[in-house]
């Protein structure tokens, strides 16, 4: 038992008002860190640009078409979409509150926690200045790392609860499913957000969103490399002690595993 985890979850969730403030969107893409966010955003942005006759996204983050909630809208006639890594305020899980306040429809992009953590560590290893085993144990207070096991569990538990209560207002997309059948997952999002985008636009988006092409569209003012060409596997990174720790923490704290097997 890690004292303070639930207290820190409640403290951070209650003070996170982002989704309460930014409601005037038709759709919100909410994603785990290192879960393919840039890839999915870029594909959606390419398809939207092709369908709505907009300029193609300049960089691989595609913020000119699907930006953060505070970014200016460059194309008012395009679908009003935004993206975030944010964890929802508890009021979003209240059926009474949502009966009075309208919210966008949320697409939740998730990934196997182990792959997400390895990718985050490899991206920021020089900033973290620690071994992977230390990083894996994380920081319950959320001050040391941009993403760790405790943040992932907060994210999955919060959005898992919300998606269970409001299944028609949330759509879960797993990164692994997106890689295996990309067009089908894009079509799911298309229907869910009522984007009315044709299949040819999505086929173009997939073709233009290869790692090689997206690497050429890196925004030079953004830190780190958003598009990773390779990452190590769980077997290459996790020690036996790491695996025991990971399983124990998931068993104790994770309430929504979204079909991932974290016990093996």
- Over residues 185-204, the mean pLDDT reads 97
Domain 5-113+149-228, second-level architecture:
3-Layer(aba) Sandwich (3.40)
Q: pLDDT band for 8, please (50, 70, 90 cuts).
A: confident
Residue-wise pLDDT for 124-165, tens only, equals: 988 999 999 999 999 988 889 999 999 999 999 999 999 999
Bridge partners for 29 per DSSP: 83, 107
Residue 224 has pLDDT above 70, yes or no: no
Which of the residue ranges 184-188, 204-208, 233-237, 249-253 would you say has the lowest mean pLDDT? 233-237
Would you say the C-alpha torsion 111, 188, 31, 11 has a positive or negative sign?
negative
Tell me the average pLDDT across 57-80. Answer: 92
Mean pLDDT of 241-252: 96
101 close to 23: Cβ distance less than 8 angstroms:
yes
Q: How far apart are CA 73 and CA 81, in angstroms?
A: 9
Within its chain, how far is the Cα of 252 from the centroid? 23
Q: Is the pTM of this model over 0.75?
A: yes
* Residue 5 confidence (pLDDT): 86
Domain boundaries, the chain: 5-113+149-228
């Amino acid at each position: 038992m890690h004292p303070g985890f639930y207290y820190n979850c409640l403290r951070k969730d209650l003070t996170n008002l982002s989704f309460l403030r930014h409601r005037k969107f038709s759709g919100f893409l909410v994603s785990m860190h290192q879960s393919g966010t840039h890839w999915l955003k870029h594909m959606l942005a390419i398809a939207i640009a092709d369908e709505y006759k907009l300029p193609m996204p300049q960089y691989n983050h595609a913020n000119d078409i699907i930006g953060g909630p505070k970014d200016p809208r460059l194309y008012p006639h395009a679908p009003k979409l935004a993206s975030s890594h944010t964890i929802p305020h508890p009021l979003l899980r209240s059926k009474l509150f949502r009966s009075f306040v309208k919210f966008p429809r949320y697409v939740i992009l998730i990934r196997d926690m182990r792959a997400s953590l390895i990718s985050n560590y490899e991206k920021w290893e020089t900033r973290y200045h620690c071994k992977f085993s230390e990083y894996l144990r994380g920081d319950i207070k959320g001050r040391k790392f941009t993403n760790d096991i405790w943040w992932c569990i907060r994210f999955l538990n919060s959005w898992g609860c919300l998606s269970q209560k409001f299944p028609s207002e949330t759509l879960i997309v797993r990164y692994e499913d997106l890689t295996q059948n990309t067009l089908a997952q894009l079509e799911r999002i298309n229907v869910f957000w009522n984007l009315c985008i044709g299949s040819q636009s999505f086929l173009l988006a997939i073709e233009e969103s290869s790692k090689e092409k997206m690497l050429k569209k890196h925004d030079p003012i953004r830190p780190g490399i958003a598009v990773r060409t390779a990452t190590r596997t769980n077997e290459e990174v996790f020690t036996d002690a790491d695996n025991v720790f990971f399983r124990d923490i998931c068993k104790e704290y994770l309430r929504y595993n979204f079909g991932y097997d974290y016990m093996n």
